[in-house]
């Protein structure tokens, strides 16, 4: 997303997080499935709850109140939760991950199993974590980055299936987090998702991309606004800029949309649609909902939609009309997240 936001140390302040909820509905009711309720729900959030940070193994503590508040919204706990940043969740016997699962269960949530992920290029110990309810989805594979046979192409990849389905009816959920160094790194990460576009297996990629795709609805409008980016602050915006050597380094600046455009296609102005993508669709575009996913900030910077859900061809045709939603915070003055929760229903 922007620069990594550190959680407040005081327990009296709400901690910021990021959420994306995906409801995956079955094609037909199943035993023990409540009518009208989704069979599988998937959510993405940044909120890890780490506070009073210290060295590994000590000096740190967690506050999961914000996580519980957001994920219990409407008392509909997701069956799969993708946490964008699980700060130090692997340390001390996986304390952060397991206590987060325990806090959600104590609040009436599901009995999640945490699956801790990793970030490329040794970015840091705040990688995505997937929490899965094994009573609601059948986990077929999780590729642990610590195992000797780990391959980077399987990073943060969950292979699962709805209950009662065979291994031939699996789906994939991939967690990602856009690199803050710049667009070259984000593009390289997007290229690693190439094979997930294969329509043979349904797939959803969820994450904070730290960028937007091309196209008028998503245009990054404030890159050249001197009222926001004062002299000496170019370093703060350059990760959003398409870096060009030479005179273009001094502006005017162009947003770097390559990562998402690689996956979903660039915006063709002459045709009024996307072209050249590798087979993914953006759920917000399918719904024609261009609501920003960021909350307002004091300096007036543009609120962008950088928390996004991408689906490949089988699930692009399975999105339930009218189900996509950007959820506004219950208390706009004190949101639990610096980004808004996003949800969609998919008929799996």
What digits encode the pLDDT tens for the residues 332-347? 888 877 878 787 778 8
Query: Based on the structure, what is the number of domains in the chain?
Result: 1
What is the per-residue pLDDT for 198? Answer: 97
What mean pLDDT is reported for the chain?
Answer: 82
Whether 262 is in a domain gets the answer yes
| Residue 126 banded pLDDT, cuts 50, 70, 90 | confident
Res 202 pLDDT > 90 = yes
Whether 204 is in a domain gets the answer yes
Whether 226 is in a domain gets the answer no
Whether 338 is in a domain gets the answer yes
Segment 196-200 shows an average pLDDT of 97
The length of the chain, given as a count of residues = 348
What digits encode the pLDDT tens for the residues 11-23? 333 334 444 445 5
Whether 238 is in a domain gets the answer no
Exposed e or buried b per residue across 198-225, where buried means at least 16 C-beta atoms within 10 angstroms of its C-beta: eeeebbbbbbbbbbbbbbeebebebbee
Domain holding 53, by residue range, is 20-220+255-347
Whether 288 is in a domain gets the answer yes
What digits encode the pLDDT tens for the residues 42-56? 555 556 666 544 434
Q: Read out DSSP for 138-196? A: EEEEE--TTSTT--GGGTTEEEEE-TT--GGG-EEEEEEE--SS-HHHHHHHHHTTGGG
| Residue 41 banded pLDDT, cuts 50, 70, 90 | low
Single pTM value for the model: 0.85
Query: In this predicted structure, which of 14-23, 182-191, 308-317 has the lowest mean pLDDT?
Result: 14-23
CATH classification at residue 343 = 3.60.10.10
């Amino acid at each position: 997303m922007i620069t990594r936001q550190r959680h407040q140390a005081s327990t009296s302040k709400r901690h910021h997080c990021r959420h994306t909820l995906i409801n995956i509905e079955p094609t037909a009711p199943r035993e023990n499935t409540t009518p009208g309720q989704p069979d599988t729900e998937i959510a993405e959030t940044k909120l890890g709850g780490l506070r009073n940070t210290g060295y590994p193994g000590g000096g740190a503590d967690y506050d999961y109140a914000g996580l519980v508040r957001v994920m219990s919204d409407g008392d509909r706990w997701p069956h799969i939760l993708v946490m964008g940043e699980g700060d130090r969740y692997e340390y001390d016997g996986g304390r952060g991950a397991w206590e987060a699962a325990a806090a959600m269960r104590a609040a009436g949530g599901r009995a999640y199993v945490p699956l801790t992920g990793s970030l490329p290029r040794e970015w840091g110990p705040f990688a995505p974590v997937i929490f899965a309810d094994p009573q609601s989805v059948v986990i077929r594979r999780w590729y642990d980055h610590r195992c000797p046979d780990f391959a980077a192409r399987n990073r943060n990849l969950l292979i699962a299936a709805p209950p009662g389905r065979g291994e031939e009816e699996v789906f994939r959920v991939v967690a990602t987090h856009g690199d803050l160094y710049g667009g070259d790194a984000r593009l390289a990460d997007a290229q690693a998702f190439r094979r997930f576009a294969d329509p043979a297996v349904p797939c959803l990629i969820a994450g904070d991309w730290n960028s937007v795709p091309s196209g008028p609805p998503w245009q990054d409008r404030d890159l050249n606004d001197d009222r926001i980016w004062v002299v000496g602050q170019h370093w703060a915006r350059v990760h959003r800029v398409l870096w060009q050597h030479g005179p273009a380094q001094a502006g005017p600046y162009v947003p770097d949309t390559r990562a998402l455009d690689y996956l979903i296609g660039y915006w063709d102005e002459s045709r009024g649609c996307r072209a050249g993508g590798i087979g993914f669709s953006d759920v917000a575009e399918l719904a024609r909902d261009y609501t920003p996913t960021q909350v307002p900030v004091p300096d007036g910077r543009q609120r962008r939609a950088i928390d996004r859900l991408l689906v490949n061809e089988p699930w692009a045709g399975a999105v339930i009309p009218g189900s996509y939603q950007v959820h506004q915070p219950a208390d706009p003055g004190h949101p639990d997240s610096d980004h808004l929760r996003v949800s969609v229903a998919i008929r799996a």
